[in-house]
Amino acid sequence: MIGDIKLLTAARMRALDERAIHEVGIPGVVLMEQAGRGAVRLIEEAGWLGNRDDEVLLFAGKGNNGGDAFVVARVLMLAGYCRIKVALLATCEAISGDAKVNLDAFLRLGGQVEELIDKACWQALKPSLETQKLLVDGLLGTGLNSDVRGLYADIIGAVNRFSGPVLALDIPSGLNADSGLPLGDAVKATATATFAFAKPGLFVYPGREYAGRVEIIDIGIPQSWAYEEDGVRLLTADYCRPLLPPTPAANGHKGNRGHLLTFAGGPGKAGAGLLAAGGSLHSGCGLSTLALPATVAAHLEGRNPALMLAALPESVDGEIMLPPAELKELCLGKTAVAVGPGFGLHRKNGELLAAILRDCSLPMVLDADALTLLALVPEIFPKGRQHTILTPHPGEMARLLKCKSSEIQNDRLASARKLALRLGVHVVLKGAGTVIAAPDGALSINDSGNYLLSTAGSGDLLTGIIASFLAQGSTPLAAAQTGVFLHGLIADRLLAEGSSHGVTAVELGQALPGTLSTFFSRQSSVVSSQ
């Protein structure tokens, strides 16, 4: 997707609908007409219907979502499609308001409506699904707040077994518009025509899997209204590109492009440190120092000639022993710090993390083992560190919030916001559709990335990218947003170029400079996975 896109909750969207109707004077039937006509344009552009004899079945509930379906049915019929049928989960007499206006218009033009008032009616209609070219879902809108049951659940199940394309109107029926969580079950759409503004549940997983391709249909509500209050932002190339650190000046040098200090890569996990610190250089950082146990540092000397290594003193049993004075000296001249990938969970590592948090005021990224240590001893985290970014995966987030991973995944937006508000930090909740929460509770959802990122070391690379942008002077929010989007864009670029299997974090890192260069150019041919 392109542009600066705000995602609005169901309640906010209802409020803007009412404002358009009562403050601006746009009748509800006009908004509904615009929505339906926009959905028909999507159908035509998708090429789902080959000729005017193709059968189309539209499912309509008794609310405004059903009203949208009536408009789609009428406009298709007026365009010459002669085998259009609406399956209405109510009697025609039960429909009221704007939906009734459009139902009556469809009927007066000779439109066919099948009333599904019980399961017997549904069983009689069900075999006709086999001959349909397209199903349109106008059953349930954004106001759903309880699990789908009964006839609605039966129909949704049948829709999901349909082999042809399915278009959802506004949101797939059964999907929570805010959390993206299916309420019992939800329609799995080929595409969703969402009206006026997109909803968070269409982009945060698992909702993103149900929505398919998302198209935002302009129905006449001023776009500026979405920006009058805080909402969820969708990260796109157009939004993130201006937030990147500036291109180095012609007379620039490594000393003014940031210096990252990374504590990572303990015994058996040296690769994590190399990926994170190396990723920072690939992301434009001028200097990068990898701090790790002396015995490990000795084996890594020269593995990445562009990196500087800081050998940390160890005890006889391998625990890091870094006096406060040496830590202070190590932080001198640095512009950001990253802690965590392969850091280790020894008691002394916990003490070192506590000292870093206490004595180092630099912008910071905490990941992996640093998050586990923080979950074990939360009191080591000082208040007021808004320049700190935490990058947990769902398991780490669950440990930090003292709950189950399933609870995190059931509402990723709320979980990320909860931790950000509790600690006063920026939170990057990793996973498909990564969520970013700011200390004030503002939320972003990432629109880039694909399954190529699900490989060992991918998260370590992300740590390096975000920390690199911090070191180069980006604000924590900008570093998190651009780092996450760029990380996903690497995978999108590789997939577009034909890399579909076997991509490791090493290849992701190697592709980073080219992706970053393309990203800086407005002529980028890389598109998001949506």
In a domain, 277, yes or no: yes
140 closest CA partner among 124, 131, 151: 151
141 and 259 housed in the same domain: no
pLDDT digits (tens, 9 = 90+) for 416-432: 999 999 999 999 999 99
Count of structural domains within the chain: 2
218 and 250 housed in the same domain: no
Q: Which residues of the chain have pLDDT under 50?
A: 523-530
In a domain, 497, yes or no: yes
Position 2 scores a pLDDT of 64
In a domain, 447, yes or no: yes
Q: Report the interhelical angle of 512-520 vs 476-496 (nearest 10°).
A: 110
CA-to-CA separations, 163 to 52, 84, 129, 160, in angstroms, rounded: 20, 18, 10, 8
**In the sheet where 166-169 sits, what is the strand order?**
112-115, 83-88, 55-60, 134-138, 166-169, 191-195, 213-217
89 and 185 housed in the same domain: yes
**Preceding amide of 206 cis, omega within 30:** yes
Domain hosting residue 207, numbered range: 5-229
In a domain, 59, yes or no: yes
Amino acid at 282: H
Token digits for 140? 């349930």
324 and 393 housed in the same domain: yes
Position 253 scores a pLDDT of 72
258 and 176 housed in the same domain: no
pLDDT digits (tens, 9 = 90+) for 491-529: 999 999 999 999 999 999 999 999 998 887 754 444 333
Position 227 scores a pLDDT of 85
In a domain, 526, yes or no: no
In a domain, 99, yes or no: yes
Position 384 scores a pLDDT of 79
Amino acid at 1: M
132 and 211 housed in the same domain: yes
Position 524 scores a pLDDT of 40
42 and 74 housed in the same domain: yes
Position 251 scores a pLDDT of 65
Q: Any idea what the CATH number is for the domain that residue 331 is in?
A: 3.40.1190.20
Q: Any idea what the CATH number is for the domain that residue 147 is in?
A: 3.40.50.10260
Q: Domain ends where: 179, 202, 229?
A: 229
220 and 246 housed in the same domain: no
35 and 104 housed in the same domain: yes
Position 296 scores a pLDDT of 94
375 and 488 housed in the same domain: yes
In a domain, 225, yes or no: yes
In a domain, 527, yes or no: no
Q: Domain ends where: 229, 256, 284?
A: 229
Token digits for 364? 């910071």
288 and 386 housed in the same domain: yes
Q: Domain ends where: 187, 204, 229?
A: 229
Label the pairing between strands 83-88 and 287-293.
unpaired
Alpha helices in 323-432 (DSSP H): 324-331, 347-359, 369-376, 394-401, 405-410, 412-423
The rounded distance, in Å, linking the Cα atoms of 203 and 209 is 8
244 and 113 housed in the same domain: no
pLDDT digits (tens, 9 = 90+) for 157-169: 999 999 999 999 9
